[in-house]
Structure 1
Amino acid sequence: MRVFVLVWLLCLCEVEGRKGWKGPWERYIRAPEDKRRIVPRGIWKTEGDVDVDVEEGTVRIGEGGWVSWEFGENISGRVCLVVEGVEGGLEEVSLAYSESYLFAGPVPDATTDRRMRDLPLRLGVEGPGEVCVGREFVRGAFGYFTLHVPKDGDGDGDGDGDGDGGQGWFWGVGMGGRISGLGRKKKRIAISEVRVSCSSFPSQGDNGREAYTGYFSSSSDLLNKIWYAGAYTLQLGSIDPREGGALIDYNRVVDHNRSPAGSWYSNFTISEGGSVTTDGAKRDRMVWPGDMFIAIPSIAVSTSDWVSVKNALRVIFKNQYFDGRLPYAGPPMGVTENREFSDTYHLHSLLGVFGYVLWSGDLGWLGEIWGRYLFALHHSISIVDDMGLVHVTSTADWLRPGMTGHNLEASALLHTVLSRSATLASWLGRDVPPLWAATQTRLETGFSRLYCPETGLFSDNIGQRSCYPEKGQPYSPVLPQDGNSWLLISGANLAPSGLPFRSPKSPSRAPSPLPHGPPTRRQISQKLRRRWLKHGAPCPEFPNTISPFASGFELLGHVHSGEVDTAVELMLLEWGHLVNGDGFNNGSTLAEGFRIDGDVQYPAYPSRARNSLAHGWASGPTWVLSEWVLGIEVKTPGGGEWEVKGTLTKWLGWVRGGVTLGNGGRVEVKVWRVVSEDEKGVVYEVRAEGDTKGVVAGMKIKGGERVVVLVREGDKGEGIDLGEVKVVGVEEDEWYRNTVVGCGGEEWVFDEDWKEPKMEEREQGVVDWGVMEENFRTEVWEGWEAHVGWVKEASDL
């Protein structure tokens, strides 16, 4: 497709500053309007002795009965009950939470990995009035809340908590029980209100809807839902640092808690400050660097929650090890003698620095941590050996197996980090060491050792997972989704010599040209697409899994290869399942991952209930849609300069959106398809506010100005300068039906004949159950048993 710039219009008019972006797209926002008081949408299910009085608005629950309320979307916070009365000497009730309706009932879903489900929480009730769970029992994410009146014998009566009302843990709820005291009056409770005080996104105010500093709207209802689901996922995952650490098994190494297996708290301080972004709302509620590459730009284009981002990065660098390595995650990791480490997450921390500084403009903080940054970077450079690849010694990554040796993903990550480190150095006015470029050249040579001519993709590492197995080993190359995607993102020369190594451990090269020529980015993008299944992109490096984390890398790999249509198609396929699939909390937030057949189970865990349905690493589409479809690319720290160069994908008839830049400026973009007689084109209308400037199709624009650019499709003649134009407007809800009129009288109107393409039919994924069980993760970390003694304690209890 050839395009020609035809017209542009400059309008000198300041737009009055607004806190948010008002418009019909606000209906997609899932955040609460008043997070201090969230009430259920209704009762989802009841069982046993339950009476619902609609007129009085009261629910009465007797022994053995339970009621589950649904909220309509994932929420978080502290539950309070308005009790109208109790009977039969009732002193306590049982509470349970679940993100998905699949696990709603008297037994909660799972946050820890020591039981298939969490223990229900005991809440003491003394009579009429309001009773709330203690602050330490804030539940990070749930869409369903269940109140159960246990029968005598269901609980042990000895809770270990000291929250409001005498809180602790029920041990036998839902497992039967005995009824004692024949002839006595049955226990019963009457509830007139259930409400939740949400403690997420503490730096964004009480109205979560007004926290949005960016917006997205398009002709695709599904893409709109996906964008806002990603944004809301990140809101729920931004928490008060004092309410972190739901994984008490990790916390025990630091706080020495003796809470029983299956219990949970949100009371571990994970960073400094008043707000911090974490990996997940339900679990793990910790700072995980792996999320930052995707999460930070997605936060940038949606809520600009820089306080939460900065506190997350600060805690990682604060706990840097003596040899320059950065911890696998924030506290409780990284603060004990375990020194948990991941070669890849170490690099993700450095990428997080780039994303934060680029969007926020916080060069002062970059200068403060620059020495630590270089110390960390040169640790990774030091482990590039004579194979020309990063030699990984840590098995830790995003829970995927096989992370050892001369690894493709880690090496491509380092190549990317080196490029962005050079940019950071230039922003600080620092010299770029020649070693950085030299290391990238070495890595490019190393990549060629992993190329598999038979498949056109690169293998995971040197060894059994490569195309050149050791003598006697089977030929079973692993062609990873993450590593091949990172190669595309990195911008590396994929075939520096035009020839691959015959053997990854030999210095000699193949004597003849490759049968299909050297690999290209577009070819790799196409080959990744061909592997897609009915519910998304599988990751061979983690069998049975579809991961929106690794698929987020693939989205970026496609757009960096110029294949924006392919990236958006993957969003519709995979994230469409996360939004519409059975059990995924009505699409309000985005899950950690799921099984290859579409089931809600994340194959890292034996418990289906443990999957986090609000995990920030799944928010890739929020970033990609704003930067590569709308096309708002920030060029300098804080957005002082930017460029609009989006691609109106074949999946859209129109799109609009805006972002707030780190320096306070704003950019709004509208794009729509137009026709004029026998020609077609695309119109870009861009407005800028504040102290900022940008470029739109070669046309310069600064704050207070508007540019309208018409780009013609096809090869019909030269571009014609039509001079000044006017846009004949219609109702704002249908702004894309505006008519663009040139001074020559040509009228360009919305292309009413455009239709969204039909999605390709794909095969259903099939689970390999043997491999599935081999990859379950049940340990906290290697060697953790030597540091905690709770296993025997819990079994004795």
Structure 2
Amino acid sequence: MFIANNNATLGVAGPTIVDGAKRDRDMGIAVPSQFVSTFDLIPTRNALSAMFAAINPETGALPDSGPPLCQLGSDTYHCWTLIGTHNYYLYSGDDDWLSTIWTNYTHAIACLEGNVDSTGLMDVTGLPDWARLGGGGCNAEGNAILYKASSMRIIWAMNLSPQLEEKTLPHSKSSSTRPSGWNDANSFAVLYNLTLSNEQKGPEKNWNDLGPVVPELPDTTSRFNISGFEPQAHFKAGKDDRALDLLRREWDYILYTNLSVQSTLLEGFMANGSLWYVLFPLFLYSSGLTSALTLYVMGLSLRGATWSVSPLINGGLPGAEGGFETLLGWFGMKWALKDNQFFMEISTPKGTNDQVKLLRNGSVVVDEEAVDVGADGEIALTGGKHGVVIFS
């Protein structure tokens, strides 16, 4: 008889995120989703603290699973814990917490950079990864997320180095120089500014009627392995219509198919739509659009006390409205297209400041007064309520 014990300690403090959300690609999806929805970042902080508490003190390796397992051996999971730290700090500004883990953070960065060889690329030797076959060597996925995690300058290597093709395994040949259709590496290359031209920003090569069938895990549409990041990459590349097309194909299916629970719990499914993974009771697996629609379509983002407005209006939508609340206060945004006019209402806390990117040409009126727009197509606003109208 097998008897399971369910009394293990899952972290250093509670509340905490459990299982995969402590590490791997969840940290790239969950934290932005939390920020724009509940702004409850304490579980993320506690989960990250648990991972740094389990660091290998000699090598600086971070575990690829939380306690009680604390397994070591994944370079990519290691990176995602670092990216999760970056995301948490970006949205929280929590200097006190960052100071408590900073020594371990820099130790963990040095651990990965020690695997960078003469090509300028990391040789991925810690192979375990999520929903990916053949992830070893100087593969593009691992190096893209290392770049994000450490800001190490490997753009030249990702785009120009011939060694990338020579040393990459078959399912990992997905660098920005050799687009093999959308997959995790190509999405990360766009999101993390590793492409040199629009031609490197990927077609819908691997799509079927339900979404992308990813090369790194054949016959699978992986809900957050690629699909949480791919719409964001399309939005960032200025392909609004493509991102919304993917949204309607894939998210419509998971929300309405009678094969599932009609929610974003679904983590993956086969190319024909049959279910693959719907076990984990977590909202985050398919929640990439929660932040994507806010940060790109609505177009409102925040970094510290500086906010920016740059809505994407070329996807055929008549308008968008939403917002989020932080310790600074409420940030709200509404825009609409009607005839030849573009209307925008912005509400932000006093004491903050902003740059508004105007994506249409024409006469601009702010708070019922005409304004001149600089050559960069931006106008500066301070916190408060503002109305912007562009007459084309």
Indicate the TM-score class for this superposition, using the shorter chain for normalisation.
Answer: 0.7 to 0.9
Distance 1:635 1:556 in 2: 18
2:62 aligned residue: 326
**Mapping 1:394-793, distance limit 5 Å:** 394-419=126-151, 436-437=152-153, 439-446=154-161, 448-450=162-164, 462-465=168-171, 481-494=183-196, 520=197, 522-527=198-203, 529-549=204-224, 550-587=226-263, 589-602=264-277, 611-612=279-280, 614=282, 616-636=284-304, 640-661=305-326, 663-675=327-339, 680-697=340-357, 698-703=378-383, 705-713=384-392
Change beyond 3 A, Cα 1:595–1:374 = same
2:46 aligned residue: 311
1:342 aligned residue: 74
Q: How many aligned positions are there?
A: 365
Distance 1:268 1:652 in 2: 49
Q: Percent of aligned positions with the same letter in both sequences?
A: 30
Change beyond 3 A, Cα 1:463–1:541 = closer
1:295 aligned residue: 30
User: How big is the shift at 1:351?
Assistant: 0.8
1:382 paired residue among 102, 111, 114 = 114
CA contact 1:548–1:592 (8 Å) conserved in 2: yes
User: How big is the shift at 1:572?
Assistant: 1.4
Question: How big is each residue's C-alpha offset from its partner over 1:284-307, in whole Å with a ceiling of 9 and x where there is no partner?
Answer: 7x7334311111011000001121
User: How big is the shift at 1:440?
Assistant: 4.6
Amino acid at match of 2:260: F
Change beyond 3 A, Cα 1:321–1:523 = same
Amino acid at match of 1:575: W
Distance 2:253 2:341 in 1: 32
Q: 3-state SS of the aligned residue for 1:689?
A: strand
Q: 3-state SS of the aligned residue for 2:212?
A: coil
Distance 1:319 1:301 in 2: 29
Q: 3-state SS of the aligned residue for 1:552?
A: coil
Amino acid at match of 2:285: W
Distance 1:621 1:391 in 2: 32
Q: 3-state SS of the aligned residue for 2:64?
A: coil
Distance 2:168 2:316 in 1: 39
CA contact 2:10–2:18 (8 Å) conserved in 1: no
User: How big is the shift at 1:312?
Assistant: 0.8
Distance 1:688 1:343 in 2: 40
Amino acid at match of 2:381: I
Change beyond 3 A, Cα 1:479–1:412 = same
Q: 3-state SS of the aligned residue for 1:271?
A: coil
CA contact 2:144–2:189 (8 Å) conserved in 1: yes
Alpha-carbon RMSD across the aligned residues, in angstroms, is 2.5
CA contact 1:592–1:615 (8 Å) conserved in 2: no
Q: 3-state SS of the aligned residue for 1:392?
A: coil
- In terms of Rg, which structure is larger? 1
User: How big is the shift at 1:651?
Assistant: 3.8
User: How big is the shift at 1:493?
Assistant: 4.8
**Mapping 1:148-163, distance limit 5 Å:** none
Change beyond 3 A, Cα 1:532–1:493 = closer
Change beyond 3 A, Cα 1:442–1:643 = same
User: How big is the shift at 1:611?
Assistant: 4.0
Distance 2:316 2:252 in 1: 14
User: How big is the shift at 1:683?
Assistant: 1.1
CA contact 2:181–2:202 (8 Å) conserved in 1: no
Distance 2:262 2:192 in 1: 35
Change beyond 3 A, Cα 1:693–1:291 = same
Question: How big is each residue's C-alpha offset from its partner over 1:131-180, in whole Å with a ceiling of 9 and x where there is no partner?
Answer: xxxxxxxxxxxxxxxxxxxxxxxxxxxxxxxxxxxxxxxxxxxxxxxxxx
Question: How big is each residue's C-alpha offset from its partner over 1:650-708, in whole Å with a ceiling of 9 and x where there is no partner?
Answer: 242121001112x3321110111112xxxx132111011254222324333333x2111
Distance 2:181 2:207 in 1: 14
Q: 3-state SS of the aligned residue for 2:301?
A: strand
Distance 1:311 1:466 in 2: 33
Tell me which of the two structures has the higher relative contact order, counting C-alpha pairs closer than 8 angstroms and 6 or more residues apart. 1
Amino acid at match of 1:314: S
Question: How big is each residue's C-alpha offset from its partner over 1:415-465, in whole Å with a ceiling of 9 and x where there is no partner?
Answer: 22233xxxxxxxxxxxxxxxx33x55444443x5446xxxxxxx9x62445
Amino acid at match of 2:386: V
Distance 1:312 1:555 in 2: 27
User: How big is the shift at 1:402?
Assistant: 1.1
Amino acid at match of 2:221: I
User: How big is the shift at 1:560?
Assistant: 2.5
Amino acid at match of 2:289: P
Change beyond 3 A, Cα 1:696–1:396 = same
Q: 3-state SS of the aligned residue for 1:379?
A: helix
Change beyond 3 A, Cα 1:683–1:596 = same
CA contact 2:236–2:296 (8 Å) conserved in 1: no
Q: 3-state SS of the aligned residue for 1:696?
A: strand
Structure 1, unaligned runs of 5 or more: 1-257, 420-435, 452-458, 468-476, 495-519, 603-609, 714-797
CA contact 2:318–2:336 (8 Å) conserved in 1: yes
CA contact 2:319–2:337 (8 Å) conserved in 1: yes
Question: How big is each residue's C-alpha offset from its partner over 1:535-567, in whole Å with a ceiling of 9 and x where there is no partner?
Answer: 111101101110121112212222222223322
1:78 aligned residue: none
User: How big is the shift at 1:266?
Assistant: 5.1
Structure 2, unaligned runs of 5 or more: 174-178, 358-377
Distance 1:493 1:683 in 2: 33
Question: How big is each residue's C-alpha offset from its partner over 1:707-730, in whole Å with a ceiling of 9 and x where there is no partner?
Answer: 1112345xxxxxxxxxxxxxxxxx
User: How big is the shift at 1:526?
Assistant: 4.3
Change beyond 3 A, Cα 1:443–1:526 = closer
Distance 2:60 2:38 in 1: 32
Instruction: Tell me which protein shows more helix as a share of its residues.
Output: 2
Amino acid at match of 1:319: A
Amino acid at match of 1:275: P
Q: 3-state SS of the aligned residue for 1:597?
A: coil
Distance 2:131 2:138 in 1: 18
**Mapping 1:46-57, distance limit 5 Å:** none
Q: 3-state SS of the aligned residue for 1:585?
A: coil
CA contact 2:345–2:385 (8 Å) conserved in 1: yes
User: How big is the shift at 1:342?
Assistant: 1.2
Change beyond 3 A, Cα 1:318–1:590 = same
Change beyond 3 A, Cα 1:287–1:548 = same
**Mapping 1:221-370, distance limit 5 Å:** 259-260=2-3, 267-279=7-19, 287-322=22-57, 323-334=59-70, 339-370=71-102
Question: How big is each residue's C-alpha offset from its partner over 1:459-511, in whole Å with a ceiling of 9 and x where there is no partner?
Answer: 9x6244577xxxxxxxxx976711111111221254xxxxxxxxxxxxxxxxx
